[in-house]
Structure formats: C-alpha cells, structure tokens
Amino acid sequence: MEDLTPPKDSLDPIEIASRDEIAALQLERLKWSLAHAYQNVPHYKASFDAAGVHPDDLRSLDDLAKFPFTVKTDLRDNYPFGMFAVPRDQVARVHASSGTTGQPTVVGYTARDLDVWATVVARCLRASGLKPGDILHNAYGYGLFTGGLGIHLGADKLGLTTVPISGGMTNRQVRLIEDFGATGITVTPSYALSIIDEYAAQGRDPRLSPLKVGIFGAEPWTNAMRQEIEEAFDMHAVDIYGLSEVMGPGVANECVETKDGLHIWEDHFYPEVIDPETGRVLPDGELGELVFTSLTKEAFPVIRYRTRDLTRLMPGTARSMRRMEKVTGRSDDMMILRGVNVFPTQIEEQLMLVPALAPHFQVELNRVEHRDEMRVKVETLPDTVEQGEAAARDLAARIKASVGVTVKVDVAAPGGVARSQGKAVRIVDNRPKA
Ligand code: DLL
C-alpha cells in the first residue's frame, strides 16, 4: 500500500501544537461555551441552577466535572428547536437522527458552525491520506443523516473532487468507483462489505480498483474487519468517528500513518471518559463512557453530553491531540446473556477468524422457555458451502472460549444475511418486552 502520510506543513498548526497551547485554548473556549449555553438555552440555565453551578465557577479544565451531564432525553424533551442557542433565523442547517424510539433528535448549525464542521472533516480526510485533487466517492447517506453532507463539506474545504453518490444502488457504486477513478471512499464498514460482494458479482477484482484509502465509521468495527477490508481492496482503511449531537462525522479520526486510535479534534470538542454507573470522571487510559462538551458551537452547544459510546482516552502520537480507542460498542448495544456482557464487535472479531465464513453477521435474541438465547446468523462463501456446518461449530467454540457465552450459530448460503446500505442492524431482539 502506498505511503499516504500528509506533509507536516499541510496540517492545521493546532494539530501539532504543544499540550500547554491546546489546554490554554480549551480553557478559554470552554468558558465561552458554558456562558453561551447558560445565557441562551433555558435547559442549561435550569440544569446548572439545579446543580448549584454557574459558568463563572469554571477556573480550570477539571472544574468541568462540577457541571451536570446532558442526555439524549434532554434533547428529545426540547424537540424540535428548544436547545438552540441562537435565534432560529441564524440557523443555517438542521440535521436529525431518527433513533429507535420514534422521536427524532434535531441538531442545528450556524453558518460559522458549518465552517468549523468543514474544517474538522477536512482534517479527517487529510489525516486519512487524501490531498487536494483526489477523487472522493462519498457513499454515506445524504439527507437528515449527518454522514453524507458532513463529509461533503470537508471534502469541499480540502479541495477534493467529490462524487456525492450517497448509499444504495450497489452495482452503480462499483461502476462509478471504477469509471471515475475514485482514490478515496467514505462509507460505513458494513456497506463496504456489500460493495466488495458486488465487485465479485460483476467479476471484477477490488484489489485492482483505483482506491487508495477508505474512511469508515458511523458504526463500530474491529481491527479484524480493518484487515479484511484492507486486503480485499489493497488499500488503507481508517476509522472516522462522530455523532450528530456533537457535530456529525469529524469529531475524531485515525491517522493513516499510525492507525492507532482516533485523534479527537480537541480544540473544538472537549472529551471526558466517565464511569457510566457513578458518573465519576476516569483518568486517561481507563475504559468508560465518552462524554463531550462543545467548545465553539454556536447554534447547538452541548455540555457534557453522554454519548453512550465506550472507549478510553490515550495520549497523542501522530498529532498532539489525544486519541480515543476504537469504540467497543454503545452501552445500548450491550447484550447480557446469563450475566455475561456481550458486544457485537466481540462476535465480529471471532467471525473474522473463521476463513470459511463471509464477514456478514446478525445476532438474534430469543426467549426460549424463560431463558435468553443468542443465535448468530452467518453465511458461507460461494466456494465453502460444504464446510458450513464445521465452520458454524468452529465459530460457536471460539465465541464460547473468548467471550464466555454459549450461542447457536445458523449458517446460511451466500447472501443469506441481510445486507446493510448504511448502518448495519447487528441485533434483532425478539424477546418479549418487559
Ligand atoms: O453516525 C456520524 C458519522 C457519520 C460518523 C459518518 C462517522 C461517519 P449519528 O447517526 O448521530 O452520527 O450516530 C452516532 O454512531 O454515537 C456511535 O455509537 C456510532 N459511531 C459513529 N462513528 C463510529 C465509529 C454518525 N467510528 C453514533 N466507531 C455514535 C464506532 C461509531 N461507532
């Protein structure tokens, strides 16, 4: 694979500034952000007052721990525009995520927020190894989802040639990657697998594609999956993270030269990791729930927003900004089977070790005679259909040995597992609701 390391002088100076410089900027911006939220969003005034804190109480970055958390239901309770901190006519854009409970979460951006968003996404694309003039095949969904339009903003800022293909019509995806000579692709890792399948269906070899790098996010994926995708396309695969409440894609990104976790753009998003049970701030290096405070957002400031994503913070490497480890999963996606916690990423890791099985999977939870049962649905490759049963036994044994739970593995023929065109649905919960 080609060395795509961006030249140092192409980076934003703050990416490689000293920790002292970064901390000083964070403190100044954090003071502004707390005051801005308190003065302009009734929810924050009420929650700070209830907790007995005032923006003036923040004298050091550590003082942030005194401020109350914000959770998803706070945003829902203020649907649609109640969390906006600027008059509605200064909101240049809204996005929304549908969530699982029906009521969408709405977020907003001023023109300046959109410019900051473009800046951080451009940083991500550059850290991934793209440079002005590259052709980007952007297969994240366009629309209310932040993926498509968020990446698009950053691609414009970096000076790429963007192909705004969005998700779906997989045969056309392959055709346009090839015909237009795309050098980069932005897409969910699960949809990338569908694109790989489509290459095979068209009798084309993805290793011969013009792609040099894929930038994958919007859902958890493992290093084992990275290897699978890198080998299939003979290209780099890097991780991009973000969430609509904090901005969208572009909160953090891996560097192509190190691939050792995602650098958080800490000059705009202040991270903390907390113990999800007690809310206590954990020292860097410990695994817990990621919490973000926006430092510069005008339309939709978030103060100590609980992401539900589990990770740990680590010191900077290729950039001075701290890294977060690849997200293990969301606390919402954690399945508890007879007392053992299981994440879909743990299943994915084991699946990748069984060569006769395709990388697609779905987990089904059922209640059988008052006991919870987990079935893992997988499929064989076109040339391994005969080995299916043995491969299923192998996978069940690996899951038992590494995760500690007994699962049933159902093997389907190639194409038998539902394909994703965006975020994969990993868990189908058929258990009766309590
Ligand atoms: O998924 C934004 C995005 C778009 C990120 C494109 C990256 C690329 P939401 O729809 O609000 O926003 O979903 C956010 O997706 O809290 C995580 O649970 C999950 N997620 C996003 N990126 C990653 C990642 C977009 N790289 C939620 N690894 C987040 C693991 C991720 N999970």
Type of residue found at 31: K
For residue 353, is pLDDT > 80?
yes
Secondary structure element (H or E) that encloses residue 329, with its range: strand 329-330
* pTM beyond 0.95: yes
CA of residue 387 to ligand 1 center, whole Å:
35
| pLDDT digits 0-9 by tens, 379-404 | 999 999 999 999 999 999 999 999 99
Mean pLDDT over all residues of the chain?
A: 97
* Whether pLDDT at 190 is above 90: yes
DSSP string, 150-207: HHHHHHHHHT-EEE---S--HHHHHHHHHHHT-SEEEE-HHHHHHHHHHHHHTT--GG
Determine the distance separating the centroid of ligand 1 and the alpha carbon of 327, expressed in angstroms: 10
pLDDT of residue 420: 86
Q: By C-alpha distance, which of 237, 260, 251, 267 is closest to 316?
A: 260
Q: Which of 243, 251, 253, 332 to mutate to test the pocket of ligand 1 (most atoms within 8 A of CB)?
A: 243
Amino acid letter for position 366: N
pLDDT at 101: 62
Using 50, 70 and 90 to split pLDDT, how confident is the model at 230?
Answer: very high
Q: Ligand 1: distance of its center to the CA of 284 in Å? A: 22
Question: Closest ligand 1 atom, CA of 217?
Answer: 26
pLDDT score of 99: 66
**pLDDT (tens digit per residue) in 9-19:** 999 999 999 99
Instruction: Please compute Rg for the chain using Cα positions.
Output: 22
| Nearest C-alpha neighbor of 108 from the set 97, 119, 93, 96 | 93
CA distance 135 to 162: 6
* CA 167 – CA 229 distance, rounded (Å): 18
Mean pLDDT of 25-54: 98
Choice among 144-153, 198-207, 252-261, 418-427 with the minimum mean pLDDT: 418-427
Q: Note the pLDDT tens digit of each residue in 129-150.
A: 999 999 999 999 999 999 999 9
For the chain, helix, strand, coil in percent to 5 are: 35, 25, 40
Q: Do the beta carbons of residue 241 and residue 226 sit within 8 Å? A: no
Task: Please check the confidence at residue 235 and state whether its pLDDT lies above 90.
Answer: yes
Q: What spacing in Å lies between the alpha carbon of 248 and ligand 1's midpoint?
A: 8
Residue to probe by mutation, ligand 1, list 222, 309, 323, most atoms within 8 Å of CB: 309
Is the per-residue pLDDT at 124 higher than 90? yes
